[in-house]
Structure 1
Amino acid sequence: MSKKSDSNTLSAAELQTDEALMQAALVVDHLQQNPDFFLQHPRLLAELRLPHQQKGSISLVERQLELQRGKINALEEEITRLMGIARHNEVIFRALNQLHVELMQCQDAQDLQQHLTTFSKAMPGVHACQLFSFLDETTKPAYQDFELLLNRRLNHRQLYLGRLNQEEQQHIFPTNIHSVALQLIKVQDKPLALLAFGSEQDDHFQPEMDNLFLEHLAELVVRVLCPAHHAA
């Protein structure tokens, strides 16, 4: 008998909840169909109070103003972020244009390295740049030093953005470099050079970053290190 009574009480509570939800839905539907409702009932608008975590309760108008301020703040933050990206892209564009002119006058890998180092210093968040050429037969032992890195991070691809462990990084950058951009440059499927940029910031180079300027740099490096191939 007791169990039956509890069951009936639970059912009644459920019915009451369903009824409340239906009434709320009707109110929402009515307000959506009558957006000028509170204009016709200004006293009701002033009397409505909404719970607030910090203030206890606030009026509907205060809540609307609070939401609008939140949206404005979010828009201002987004505009600031986009302006920062635009300034960053402008710096890259100008530095890349200057590098393009300078690389056209390079005679060898040493000149190329100097101009790339100057370019890296102009790049926000970039603290190191190295170019390792694999053209000369005398550099074969150096190429072997990179085999672990090339097989692990650049296997079947030519670009890696992210972090390296100490073993992988030891032949490229000192320990103060925490994230890297590696571009393996090939000619006729043979490694020509490894172009590496390093940052002291852990998250400066990330896999989802755009790689357009690195691909362009790779083309410029080929022009300098292997002009005969480019002319062909």
Structure 2
Amino acid sequence: MKGTLGFEPLSAVRCPKKRKRIWLLRAAGSGQRVAGIGQRSLKWGRFSGQFQAALNELTASTGLKTMTEKIAEAGRDKQKKKAVTARQVADYLKGHPDFFVGRDDLLPDLTLPHQRGDAISLVERQVALLRERALDYRHQLVCLADNARDNEKLFERMRLLVLALLESKDLEQLIEVVNDSLNHEFGIEFHSLILFSEKPMSLPVRIEHTDVVVDALGSIMTSGKAICGQITQAELDFLFQEQAENVGSVAIAPLNYALSEPQQLGILALGSKDKDHFKASMGTLFISYLGDILSRILARQLRS
């Protein structure tokens, strides 16, 4: 029977006080003996105290270690093995000189100084510039991917709107589809649809004379092109009326159709509280497309 502390039992005697068996132990690999106990608690008064003292003295003199010490040392050794030193990395690279072959993606993240005194070499400067450009290109690529996803969502909403407009049976249903889609599908904060007519029309939409609109909006109407950005307060007041004070930027599409009579059918204005939401530098592809579709469907509905 071997104990867990590295001792071998020599013989057993009985404890006169507790009537328990006491083992005479010898350190494994040595000739020293010490009285000890078996698998019971060490709280046996004089016997346990003598045993513990002798055990401490024996472990100190023989260099033996307890299981707790062995476990702690094993843990430290394991951590040392896990930690990779710079020397180990250098030795590995020396033994594998072709390590970076086929791993070009690692090179931009490495720092390889190539200084000569206080000056920086031209090669290192070129590498730094190339790295900065690579980061810029990555950022631009991320922005392009985000814009592509946004455009895809916008296209899908536009497709559903166009299909709903084509299925409209009359002007009332068409106006309802436009209002519902702009409010819920596109999340437009403010919008204004104005139709031009010299005669009164019983429709849930604003009706104005063409001359009145041209006088109020000027070049916005005469250009016949969609625009984005900011307009004058007077133009905002005409388009959005009581909501004009809350509008910071707009996107406007004149509703013109060359094959209709009259050619100017109305105007569609979208507004946002954010002054930078609709910018003059923005493209007008989608708002122009919506204006073209709406103009043709309006012309057909007005003729029927």
TM range (shorter): 0.5 to 0.7
Deviations 1:137-171 (A, max 9, x none): 12697336533333243224343322122211113
The CA deviation at 1:230 is: 8.2
Deviations 1:104-159 (A, max 9, x none): 122334433332234334447x4222211114612697336533333243224343
Q: Within 1, Cα distance between the matches of 2:136 and 2:117?
A: 27
TM-score scaled to structure 2, two decimals?
0.50
Partner of 1:87: 149
Partner of 1:218: 291
The one of the two structures with greater contact order (alpha-carbon pairs below 8 A, sep at least 6) is 1
Q: Within 2, Cα distance between the matches of 1:69 and 1:211?
A: 35
CA separation of 1:104 and 1:71: change in aligned 2, threshold 3 A: same
Q: Greater shift after overlay, 112-121 or 173-182?
A: 112-121
1:157 aligns with 2:224: yes
1:196 aligns with 2:269: yes
1:130 touches 1:172 (CA, 8 Å); kept in 2?
yes
2:255 partner amino acid? I
The CA deviation at 1:93 is: 0.8
Partner of 1:111: 173
1:66 aligns with 2:128: yes
Partner of 1:166: 233
2:195 touches 2:207 (CA, 8 Å); kept in 1?
no
1:142 aligns with 2:231: no
2:282 to 198, 202, 209: 209
Q: Within 2, Cα distance between the matches of 1:106 and 1:170?
A: 30
Q: Greater shift after overlay, 136-145 or 213-222?
A: 136-145
The CA deviation at 1:65 is: 4.3
CA separation of 1:162 and 1:154: change in aligned 2, threshold 3 A: farther
RMSD after superposition:
3.1
Question: Could you tell me the percent identity over the aligned residues?
Answer: 25
Deviations 1:41-77 (A, max 9, x none): xxxx542543xxxxxxx56565444323311220111
CA separation of 1:46 and 1:123: change in aligned 2, threshold 3 A: same
Q: Within 2, Cα distance between the matches of 1:228 and 1:115?
A: 14
Residue 67 of structure 1 aligns to a residue in which SS? helix
1:75 to 120, 137, 147: 137
Q: Within 2, Cα distance between the matches of 1:142 and 1:230?
A: 18
Residue 252 of structure 2 aligns to a residue in which SS? strand
The CA deviation at 1:78 is: 0.5
1:183 aligns with 2:249: no
CA separation of 1:226 and 1:153: change in aligned 2, threshold 3 A: closer
Q: Greater shift after overlay, 105-114 or 91-100?
A: 105-114
1:145 touches 1:171 (CA, 8 Å); kept in 2?
no
CA separation of 1:74 and 1:155: change in aligned 2, threshold 3 A: same
2:196 touches 2:207 (CA, 8 Å); kept in 1?
no
The CA deviation at 1:183 is: 1.5
2:228 touches 2:284 (CA, 8 Å); kept in 1?
no
The CA deviation at 1:225 is: 2.4
TM-score scaled to structure 1, two decimals?
0.63
How many residue pairs get matched? 179
Residue 111 of structure 1 aligns to a residue in which SS? helix
Q: Within 2, Cα distance between the matches of 1:228 and 1:167?
A: 31
Q: Within 2, Cα distance between the matches of 1:115 and 1:102?
A: 7
1:113 touches 1:130 (CA, 8 Å); kept in 2?
no
